[in-house]
């Protein structure tokens, strides 16, 4: 599966998180508006020429005063009335209802343009009428849509990124305020509709693109179309991120339209329709103020063209029908997130002993917190993965030997106290590929050793033992719920624990004879089988926009999952 090829740690990418939505998914989401006949209603626009010869919108009543009460969109215009209109300031008029044309099949509303920041949007209408005087050949043009896709009108639209929601227009801000805790809502992450430019290849039956009216007419039609689209459908022409509940909150965002590539990561020169549908609008995120590298074409596909038929009713196992996209969290970003969650737990298990000098507890062995290890992150090692070794994300290692005076003994003696703690997290369970398992392995060891006089024999005797010597290996299955919450579920069948603790049994009265229980009780308060911060949910971005299908680790240790886009339903 191509999601297994996610490799964001490559220097040319290094995005912390990528959210990739397929062209087909975007079209399916938009389709819900176009199929519903109640979404859009009829709108009519009239234009005159201003003093500079540019189109200026005008209401119908004002226009009729200038045209001797002749409506250019009337179905019963005479030749004389058409001639009269040609002598006025009337420029062009159109009316339309946005929606699917009659009997239209296999519609693509948008076509992604790989390697650019634009998409091509087909301006489909349920009904459409256009009227104007063509000064080039002195003829009246009046066209009505009568068959499916008779009007092939498209616009190139820039993608726009608004990561900061401050200073938005009031209408947009009002819509943002109703979105709740949306993280990355792709329905709002589409277009800067104000930038719509009609494609030069646009063709309308009866209208040549070389006509002098063509460009201003089509541009005004596109503007009217998208203003109606946003007003009547509720869609926004801004990219939005609101209060973010994702564990790795994005601090920078960009995007790139990724083309479908072959097995070697090369662009396919003539992609099939199905391969075009698997091109993705990929949102690229940096987290925690990390640097965001320039957007670039990825050398893998998020979904695969892996079915003999891409009709969902016939080939439900094909990626193009099962999923709408994928989310990937870079291996290093995920590792650093876990480190941030575990730092506090590790610190409380790094002990430093000393002999208490206060009068009330003079000579007692007590512990304080030592200095925890730093620089624990482990860089990705492709060789270890190739050799079947687990990919270690990070390793905490604390190993200290303390030599302390035993002040209650005359002549003076010393005691060696070894404090050892290690914790490592690696992918897989040590015997299988990572897939959807993660292992946390940790050990805690306190060893005490000293030579003292045996009170029963009067001879020197070595007293040693390990009041605490425990280790845990916890294997977790990685699961995701519909809202993007990653949960680490302990796999009890694969998890193990050992306890080879031994008492020291120091021969003192006072508090020294309770050293074993003191150390054991102290360790019990800090060293736990599953660190309390570890299993908390890891939340993918986009929880309100997507339904999440699975969670796993890619062949390069990125945390990945498939999703479907809620707007389709």
| Total domain count, the chain | 3
- Asked whether residue 547 is domain-assigned, the answer is yes
Taking the CA of residue 155 as centre, how many other CA atoms within 13 Å lie in the half-sphere pointing to its CB?
24
Among 210, 233, 256, residue at a domain's last position = 233
Q: How far is CA 520 from CA 416, 444, 450, 529, 561, in A?
A: 17, 11, 19, 15, 42
- Asked whether residue 181 is domain-assigned, the answer is yes
SS3 93: strand
**Do 418 and 433 sit in the same domain of this protein?**
yes
**Do 45 and 55 sit in the same domain of this protein?**
yes
Name the stretches of the chain with pLDDT < 70. Answer: 1, 147-150, 159-206, 234-246, 307-314, 360-363, 384-388, 407-412, 429-434, 482-484, 508-514, 532-546, 565-569
- Asked whether residue 216 is domain-assigned, the answer is yes
pLDDT of amino acid 321: 80
Summarised one tens digit per residue, pLDDT across range 128-155 is 999 999 999 899 999 888 766 567 788 7
Among positive and negative, which fits the CA dihedral 531, 533, 537, 539? negative
Summarised one tens digit per residue, pLDDT across range 495-553 is 999 999 998 887 765 445 567 888 888 888 888 887 755 544 555 655 455 677 888 89
**Do 280 and 371 sit in the same domain of this protein?**
no
- Asked whether residue 131 is domain-assigned, the answer is yes
Tell me which residue of 7, 266, 286 sits closest to 114, measured CA to CA.
Answer: 266
- Asked whether residue 534 is domain-assigned, the answer is no
Place of tokens 């070794």: 389
DSSP 544: T
Place of tokens 């009904």: 127
**Do 375 and 512 sit in the same domain of this protein?**
yes
Domain coverage including residue 224: 41-98+118-155+195-233
**Do 446 and 482 sit in the same domain of this protein?**
yes
Give the pTM.
0.81
Q: Which residue blocks in 348-472 are alpha helix, DSSP H?
A: 382-386
The contacts of residue 469 (CB under 8 Å, 6+ apart) are 444, 445, 446, 447, 499, 500, 501, 502
**Do 176 and 290 sit in the same domain of this protein?**
yes
Q: Which residue blocks in 153-213 are alpha helix, DSSP H?
A: 170-177
**Do 169 and 310 sit in the same domain of this protein?**
yes
**Do 474 and 452 sit in the same domain of this protein?**
yes
User: With contact defined as beta carbons under 8 Å apart, do 44 and 58 qualify?
Assistant: no
CA distance 486 to 505: 46
pLDDT of amino acid 478: 85
pLDDT of amino acid 191: 44
- Rounded to the nearest 5 percent, the helix, strand and coil shares of the chain are 20, 35, 45
CA distance 479 to 415: 48
**Do 493 and 508 sit in the same domain of this protein?**
yes
**Do 419 and 500 sit in the same domain of this protein?**
yes
**Do 259 and 380 sit in the same domain of this protein?**
no
- Asked whether residue 503 is domain-assigned, the answer is yes
CA distance 236 to 182: 14
Among 203, 233, 263, residue at a domain's last position = 233
CA distance 526 to 556: 34
Number of CB atoms found within 10 A of residue 439's CB: 22
Tell me which residue of 22, 188, 224, 190 sits closest to 121, measured CA to CA.
Answer: 190
Q: How many residues does the chain have?
A: 569
Summarised one tens digit per residue, pLDDT across range 173-209 is 555 555 444 344 333 444 444 455 666 556 666 677 7
- Asked whether residue 107 is domain-assigned, the answer is no
CA distance 366 to 515: 9
Among positive and negative, which fits the CA dihedral 512, 514, 518, 519? positive
- Asked whether residue 337 is domain-assigned, the answer is no
**Do 457 and 478 sit in the same domain of this protein?**
yes
């Amino acid at each position: 599966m191509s999601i297994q090829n996610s490799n964001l740690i490559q220097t040319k990418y290094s995005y912390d998180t990528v959210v990739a939505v397929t062209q087909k998914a975007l079209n399916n989401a938009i389709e819900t508006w176009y199929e519903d006949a109640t979404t859009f209603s009829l709108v009519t626009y009239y234009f005159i020429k201003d003093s500079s010869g540019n189109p200026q919108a005008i209401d119908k009543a004002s226009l009729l005063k200038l045209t001797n009460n002749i409506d250019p969109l009337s179905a019963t215009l005479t030749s004389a009335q058409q001639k009269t209109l040609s002598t006025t300031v009337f420029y062009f008029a159109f009316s339309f209802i946005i929606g699917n044309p009659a009997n239209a099949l296999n519609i693509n509303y948008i076509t992604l343009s790989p390697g650019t920041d634009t998409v091509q949007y087909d301006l489909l209408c349920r009904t459409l009428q256009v009227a104007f005087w063509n000064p080039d050949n002195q003829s009246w043009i009046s066209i009505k849509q009568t068959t499916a896709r008779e009007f092939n009108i498209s616009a190139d639209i820039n993608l726009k990124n608004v990561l900061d929601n401050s200073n938005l227009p009031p209408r947009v801000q009002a819509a943002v305020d109703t979105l709740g805790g949306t993280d990355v809502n792709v329905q709002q992450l589409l277009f800067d509709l104000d930038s719509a430019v009609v494609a030069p290849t646009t063709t309308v039956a009866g209208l040549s693109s070389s006509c002098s009216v063509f460009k201003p007419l089509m541009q005004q039609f596109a503007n009217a179309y998208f203003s109606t689209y946003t007003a009547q459908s509720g869609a926004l022409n801004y990219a939005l991120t609101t209060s973010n509940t994702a564990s790795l909150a994005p601090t920078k965002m960009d995007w790139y339209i990724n083309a479908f590539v072959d097995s070697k990561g090369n662009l396919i020169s003539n992609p099939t329709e199905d391969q075009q549908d698997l091109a993705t609008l990929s949102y690229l995120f940096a987290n925690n103020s990390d640097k965001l590298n320039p957007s670039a074409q990825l050398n893998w596909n998020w979904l695969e063209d892996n079915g003999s038929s891409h009709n969902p009713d016939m080939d439900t196992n094909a990626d193009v029908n099962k999923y709408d996209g994928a989310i990937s969290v870079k291996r290093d970003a995920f590792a650093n997130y876990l480190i941030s969650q575990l730092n506090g737990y590790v610190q409380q298990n790094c002990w430093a002993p000393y002999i208490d000098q206060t009068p009330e507890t003079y000579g007692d062995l007590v512990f304080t917190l030592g200095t925890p290890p730093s620089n624990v992150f482990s860089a990705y090692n492709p060789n270890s993965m190739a050799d079947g070794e687990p990919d270690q994300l990070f390793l905490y290692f604390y190993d200290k030997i303390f030599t302390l005076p035993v002040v209650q003994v005359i002549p003076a003696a010393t005691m060696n106290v070894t404090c050892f703690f290690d914790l490592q997290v690696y992918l897989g369970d040590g015997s299988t590929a990572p897939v959807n398992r993660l292992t946390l392995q940790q050990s805690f060891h306190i060893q005490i050793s000293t030579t003292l006089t045996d009170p029963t024999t009067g001879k020197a005797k070595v007293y040693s033992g390990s009041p605490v010597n425990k280790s845990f290996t916890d294997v977790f299955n990685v699961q995701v719920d519909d809202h993007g919450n990653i949960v680490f579920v302990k796999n009890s069948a694969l998890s193990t624990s050992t306890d080879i603790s031994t008492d020291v049994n120091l021969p003192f009265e006072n508090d020294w004879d309770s050293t074993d229980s003191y150390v054991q009780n102290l360790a019990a308060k800090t060293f736990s089988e599953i660190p309390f911060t570890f299993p908390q949910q890891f939340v993918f971005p986009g929880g309100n926009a997507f339904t999440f299908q699975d969670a796993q680790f890619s062949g390069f240790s990125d945390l990945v999952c498939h999703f479907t886009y809620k707007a389709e339903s």
